[in-house]
Amino acid sequence: MQTVAQILHALQAGEISSREITADVLARIERLDPQVHAFLTVTPEAALQAAAEADRQRLAARRAGQTPPPLLGLPLAVKDVLSTRGIRTTCGSRILDNYIPPFDATAVQRLKAAGAIIVGKTNTDEFAMGSSTENSAYGVTHNPWDLERVPGGSSGGSAAAVAARMVPVALGTDTGGSVRQPASFCGVTGLKPTYGRISRYGLIAYGSSLDTVGVLTQTAEDAALFLHLMAGQDPLDATSMDVPRPPQRLEGREDLRGLKIGVPREYFTEGIQPAVARAVHAALDVMADLGAAIEETSLPHTEYAVPVYYLIATAEASANLARFDGIRYGPRAQAEQMWDVFFRTRGQYFGPEVKRRIMLGTYALSAGYYDAYYGQAQKVRTLIKRDFEEAFEQVDLIAAPVAPTTAFRIGQHSGDPLSMYLEDVFTLPANLSGVPGVSFPVGFDDLGLPIGMQLMGPHFQETRLLHAAHIYQQATDWHRHQPDLLAGD
């Protein structure tokens, strides 16, 4: 599978039609997805019809001497927590088993307006709560690099679909690492934009003060194009910001000269797998050779990120998930009394992790415990945010591992929620402070599993981090490696 940039180039040059590339994508999904299970829904008829229409539109534009929309005819996969008009959207939950949204999420709508074609919806932990896709009610996604291992999560389906080269690009969401960590586990590039950069309208809410829409691609260059197309204020999301859209292309920089990259000492602690630390340091050496100045920095409140996040995210989730009551959406349990309808529906159709989080969040918000838990977490969140503000007075970017380990075995953490939560330690701080982060491949461990590294930057400086990742990708080829699953492809 080519990159988005290559496919768009071939479409524009008339070397390939949208019907051909869409049929190729669908054939790959048919061949590989029985092993990977990245998709919850595939929409072949609608996709092929849209592709034929895109080919007609391109021809008409050419004849009229007009420029066609930038993504015209490009196939795309969408995480199943983003609303897609007319296409089942489950959030990986039985409680939305039969839900078909009557509208598109703004991010999806903007990409459709740019000509993209949805080929399917990807697997996710239920309501994006998890780090492995094991919490999906529809079965786990398998990591294309080792089918016995998780792809990460919660956007594990999107990461696996791009890693297995079933699609050139997939949308994800990142509330506490759900784009960056699966990107790292699957050897692809994942962008989590600044909070407020892309509208959350139509993203089925998990933690509203943390949720962001992101994208998984093979290259930083492709991520920049999608950021450009999805970014911008939206009257339907009051937290979307009115700031200039980042540019479509990463131009005007040949190397990393003049860039100061800080490496926080708190991110290289005991629990980190030695191969991960080694690969990140090797990548920093490459960046130094490319002209960057690397220096140690500190984010002193990092150790509080896990407890703070798991109080705030669960508190917000407990409020957001109140709407799933069996009346407005999805299946309904039968009972005589109204309250029993609510109880039974929620009891039957929410999975165990979602119930655990609703209980945690409700407890953290309850009278008598609010100040001790939720209120305290909000204060420490401010300290974590300040850590970044202070660090960014000294450095332009912060470089760190994405996760302490490479992809773990299916089942390894599933009996122990706390050990799963601890996997998120390096990704949560960016969500708590709202800053952007990009994850990209920088090597492999002894088992041949991909290792990712992340760059974080000040609010709305996505282009700075994507540009640095792009320069790195031009000097290295980690992002071009493909899983053995594709041998002979």
The smaller minimum CB distance to ligand GLN, of residues 381 and 470, is found at 381
To the query of whether residue 79 is one of the catalytic residues in this protein, the response is: yes
The smaller minimum CB distance to ligand GLN, of residues 68 and 207, is found at 207
The smaller minimum CB distance to ligand GLN, of residues 282 and 380, is found at 380
The minimum distance between CB 129 and ligand GLN, in angstroms, equals: 5
Q: For the chain, state the CA radius of gyration.
A: 21
The minimum distance between CB 424 and ligand GLN, in angstroms, equals: 5
Residues in the chain: 489
To the query of whether residue 154 is one of the catalytic residues in this protein, the response is: yes
The smaller minimum CB distance to ligand GLN, of residues 126 and 221, is found at 126
The interaxial angle of helices 462-475 and 274-289, nearest 10 deg, is 90
Question: Which residues, in sequence order, are CB contacts of 282 under 8 Å at separation 6+?
Answer: 442, 443
Q: What is the DSSP letter of 96?
A: G
Give 237's strand partners.
234
455-476: string of b/e by CB count within 10 Å (b at 16+)?
bbbbbbbbbbbbbbbbbbbeeb
The smaller minimum CB distance to ligand GLN, of residues 79 and 301, is found at 79
The minimum distance between CB 211 and ligand GLN, in angstroms, equals: 8
The smaller minimum CB distance to ligand GLN, of residues 343 and 363, is found at 363
Query: What φ, ψ does residue 124 adopt, rounded to 5°?
Result: -155, 155
To the query of whether residue 131 is one of the catalytic residues in this protein, the response is: no
The minimum distance between CB 154 and ligand GLN, in angstroms, equals: 4
Which residue in 403, 181, 398 sits closest to 276, CA to CA? 403
The letter for the amino acid at 35 is: Q
Cβ proximity of 179 and 172 under 8 Å: yes
- Spot the catalytic one: 136, 178, 184, 414: 178
Residue matched to tokens 């309808």: 341
SS3 421: helix
The smaller minimum CB distance to ligand GLN, of residues 161 and 485, is found at 161
What is the binding site for ligand GLN (CB under 6 A)? Answer: 128-131, 154, 174-178, 206, 313, 424
Long-range contacts for 248-252 (Cβ within 8 Å, ≥24 apart)? 248/70, 248/224, 249/221, 249/224, 249/225, 250/220, 250/221, 250/224, 250/463, 250/466, 250/467, 250/470
- Spot the catalytic one: 17, 79, 158, 433: 79
The minimum distance between CB 175 and ligand GLN, in angstroms, equals: 4
The minimum distance between CB 215 and ligand GLN, in angstroms, equals: 14
Which residue in 166, 160, 98, 91 sits closest to 130, CA to CA? 91
- Spot the catalytic one: 83, 93, 132, 154: 154
Residue 437 region by backbone torsions, left for phi larger than 0, else alpha for psi between -120 and 50, else beta: beta
The minimum distance between CB 137 and ligand GLN, in angstroms, equals: 15
How many angstroms separate the CA atoms of 9 and 318, rounded?
Answer: 46
Residues carrying an active site annotation: 79, 154, 178
